Amino acid sequence: MEFEMIAKTFQGLEGVLAEELTNLGANNVQIGRRMVSYTGDKELLYRSNFALRTAIRILKPIKHFRATSADEVYEAVKQIDWTQFLTNDTTFAVDSVVFSTEFRHSKFVAYKVKDAIVDQFRERTGNRPNIRISNPDLQLHIHVAEYDCTLSLDASGESLHRRGYRQEAVEAPLNEVLAAGIILMTGWRGETDFIDPMCGSGTLPVEAALIARNIAPGVYRKGYAFEKWSDYDEDLFQRIYNDDSQEREFTHHIYGYDNNREAVGIATNNVKAAGLSNIVSIALQDFKDFKQPEQPAVIVTNPPYGERISAPDLLGLYRMIGERLKHQFQNNTAWILSYREECFEAIGLKPSLKTPLYNGSLECELRKYQMFGGKYTDARREGREIKSNDDRKQMAQKRRFKEKRSFKQGLEETADEFQLRMSRHDEERRERRGFRGSERGNDRSERRFRADDDFRKRDGFSKRNSREGEGREGFRRNNRMFNDRRNDRFKNDED
């Protein structure tokens, strides 16, 4: 039986996600803002979570309604027969996203949904299910756009960008969903070598390897919210999980470079955790030392923007990128994601395609550079293809950067000025987090990670089995055992 589903994504990736869903066999695919709606059966629901590279979350709507007040939200939710989804022993949580002049506080809307469910159970049974923010049995999501409300079951649980292979990360790492979306937008599917000369924690190289081998990103996941639903079909999901018939060989190679030794170590560990060391190589190398590859290749990279991560002489960095591409990447294609027009101008090369794309709250652009030997005018005179018809069509549909976008900090500050600004930035960040004076501990996420890691060690779990070792069954078994014991440990965390 078919039913409606919604796949959430980042703004700018909706078209890529729609194509992924079509390839999975989805019906009635409709693109919205930061989402794609579609229809399918239970198998497609499971596959959507397991196989989609550009989805953040999969929702299954259970009711659409209009409400002009909080009381109307309460009444509409209370009309649903919640015994279909919950019992008195079931824990649940409500997430909310609100874009409305009437409902100005998203948490208040979530509270009204929670109250309606709890009151229905109290009236029927004299008891109530419990709220649990962390790892509930049932996760609900309500979306309000002015007066139009959609209440859904969250089938994913933890965001789908958390693949499971990342052991560590550098500061401000590229989101896995965005990285996969960028690669898919380039059209690269493993036909040539792939190079990220500023790879950070290795997200682009790992996602490129998964795409080249056509390995589903869900292979590394601990689990999904739908596995706790009352109608969960374990045999069906195990069949999906263990089906590697669509995976393929990759006869080229993927290279990641960075000039930061710590980043290289982190990226290497992430590649090993994903079991992809045979096709991905990580090495310490500055982009200024980049040499012409021996084999045809594509470069996809995400340099510093001067926002969350900066560098001394930022424009000098982008000028160097342009010089390396022009002289050491001839007859190949490069794709660069960045934020500021001034940075792109410093590259000094003419892009054949500009695609607006959000990286978090930053309105960035992904630009394509078709490299060739000699001068641009000579290439045009010789009739070489610089901009394809597809590039022209896409450019006609894309809007440009907002006007008056400028740097908040000086562009050509000295190294000493840069270090001083970064140290002040770090000090302010520590103060905001409550770490005035000396470092007194790790932030909450680090403490929780260490607690989880200690728990693994005490109970004899390895951090993660490699796909090169025990494969899918090893990943699944290790994560299942860890989750079961961890859930028992934290089951009374929140009430």
**82 versus 379: which is more confidently predicted?**
82
Q: What distance in Å separates the CA atoms of residue 108 and residue 235, rounded to the nearest whole number?
A: 39
Contacts 24+ apart (CB under 8 A), 19-24: 19/184, 20/51, 20/52, 20/53, 20/54, 20/55, 20/184, 21/48, 21/52, 24/48, 24/51, 24/52
- Can you read off the two tokens belonging to residue 204? 């682009």
Model-wide pTM > 0.75: yes
Is 283 a residue whose pLDDT tops 50? yes
As a whole-number percent, the residues of the chain with pLDDT over 90 amount to 63
Average pLDDT over the chain, rounded to whole?
82
Torsion 207-213-217-222 (CA) sign: negative
- According to DSSP, the residues that pair with 265 across neighbouring strands are none
Per-residue pLDDT tens digits for 308-326: 555 678 899 999 999 999 9
Dist. CA 245–CA 86, nearest whole Å: 37
pLDDT band at residue 407, thresholds of 50, 70 and 90?
very low
Tokens read off for 14: 């909706």
Least confident residue range of 161-170, 242-251, 366-375: 366-375
For the ranges 146-155, 329-338, 383-392, the lowest mean pLDDT is seen at 383-392
Q: In whole angstroms, what is the distance from residue 478 CA to residue 140 CA?
A: 28
Is the pLDDT confidence value at 475 over 80? no
Q: What is the largest CA-CA distance in the chain?
A: 82
- Residues 400-405 have a mean pLDDT of 44
Reported as a pLDDT band with limits 50, 70 and 90, residue 105 is confident
Q: Report how far residue 200's alpha carbon sits from residue 321's, in angstroms, rounded to the nearest whole number.
A: 16
Of 89-93, 154-158, 353-357, 466-470, give the lowest mean pLDDT range. Answer: 466-470
Rounded to an integer, what distance in angstroms lies between the CA atom of residue 337 and that of residue 354?
Answer: 10
Per-position b or e across 238-272, b if 16+ CB within 10 A of its CB: eebbeeeeeeeebeebbbbbbeeeebbebbbbbbb
Q: What is the pLDDT of residue 488?
A: 45
- Confidence at residue 425, expressed as pLDDT on a 0 to 100 scale: 54
Q: What is the pLDDT of residue 377?
A: 55
